[in-house]
Amino acid sequence: MERMLVVVFDNERKAFEGKSALRQLEVEGDITIYAGAVVTKHADGTASVKQYEDFGPVGTLVGTSLGSLIGLLGGPVGFAVGAMSGLAVGVLFDFDNARVGEDFVQDVLKYLTPNKVAVVAEVDEEWTTPVDTRMEALDGTVFRRALWEVEEKMRDDDVAAMKADLEQLKQELAKASAERKAKLQKRIGELQSKIEAQQKKLDERRTGFKARQEAKHEILKKNAAAAGRALKELARTPL
């Protein structure tokens, strides 16, 4: 499953160790990395790219999604692109390009506070345990979200992505060790709560949209009736 992966660390040393661990997991066949970067959040609230890599032609194609997410992680204060980053500033700050939901970015920003460092990567992984185990050993906090298949889809794609993650976590839970089950169950509970909250927002948005469309339809009907009456009056008016 294609995912955006963010791992937050307390310092650059840990972050680069985390990046190396991800590359090792790729060598071992546990994940595929399409593109990645190390991002530092500074004391003034800005963010900068310490290192950016794409991995062959696929990495070049997905750079827009990664770049957009990194730009969003820079927050409203600002974003400084590293001299050798290779990222295009013009495509940053766009949730559709990032192909993840706003709630995902907000969750990451709660942990990516000033002076912390994140490894951000666009990956393909079948199971979460290999990455989680390596990152937790380095005291990294892991965030992941399945990517939208089409950037222009409605936000309910984000709910579908979370549900896909939830289903995979449930499958993992059935095969996990006793020690791992507690962590998976906690993540399942958190993800279920997010799905319910996001679904509620979507339902409210759709209800509001429907009400506005119905109101517009009524206005059009009234305007059409008024125009019809005016035409009839005009037809009866002597020249």
Tokens encoding 215: 């109101």
Q: Based on the fold, state whether residues 53 and 66 are members of the same structural domain.
A: yes
CA atoms within 13 A on the CB side of 199: 11
Q: Based on the fold, state whether residues 144 and 189 are members of the same structural domain.
A: no
Q: Based on the fold, state whether residues 196 and 225 are members of the same structural domain.
A: yes
Q: How far apart are CA 124 and CA 108, in angstroms?
A: 19
Number of domains in the chain: 2
Per-residue pLDDT tens listing for the chain (239 residues) = 788 999 999 999 999 999 999 999 988 888 888 888 899 988 887 788 877 665 444 444 444 677 778 888 875 544 444 433 444 443 445 566 667 878 888 899 999 999 999 999 988 888 999 999 999 999 999 999 987 644 445 566 778 888 899 999 999 999 888 888 999 999 999 999 988 888 887 777 667 657 645 654 665 466 566 556 665 666 666 55
Q: How far apart are CA 231 and CA 110, in angstroms?
A: 61
Rg of the chain, C-alpha, whole Å: 24
C-alpha distances in Å from residue 99, one per residue of 7, 153, 237: 18, 9, 60
Q: Based on the fold, state whether residues 62 and 134 are members of the same structural domain.
A: yes
Q: Based on the fold, state whether residues 161 and 122 are members of the same structural domain.
A: no
User: Domain boundary at 116, 151, 186, which?
Assistant: 151
Q: How far apart are CA 110 and CA 10, in angstroms?
A: 13
Q: Based on the fold, state whether residues 101 and 166 are members of the same structural domain.
A: no
Q: Where are the alpha helices (DSSP H) in 33-101?
A: 57-73, 95-98
User: Domain boundary at 129, 151, 173, which?
Assistant: 151
User: Domain boundary at 151, 170, 198, which?
Assistant: 151
208: domain range? 154-239
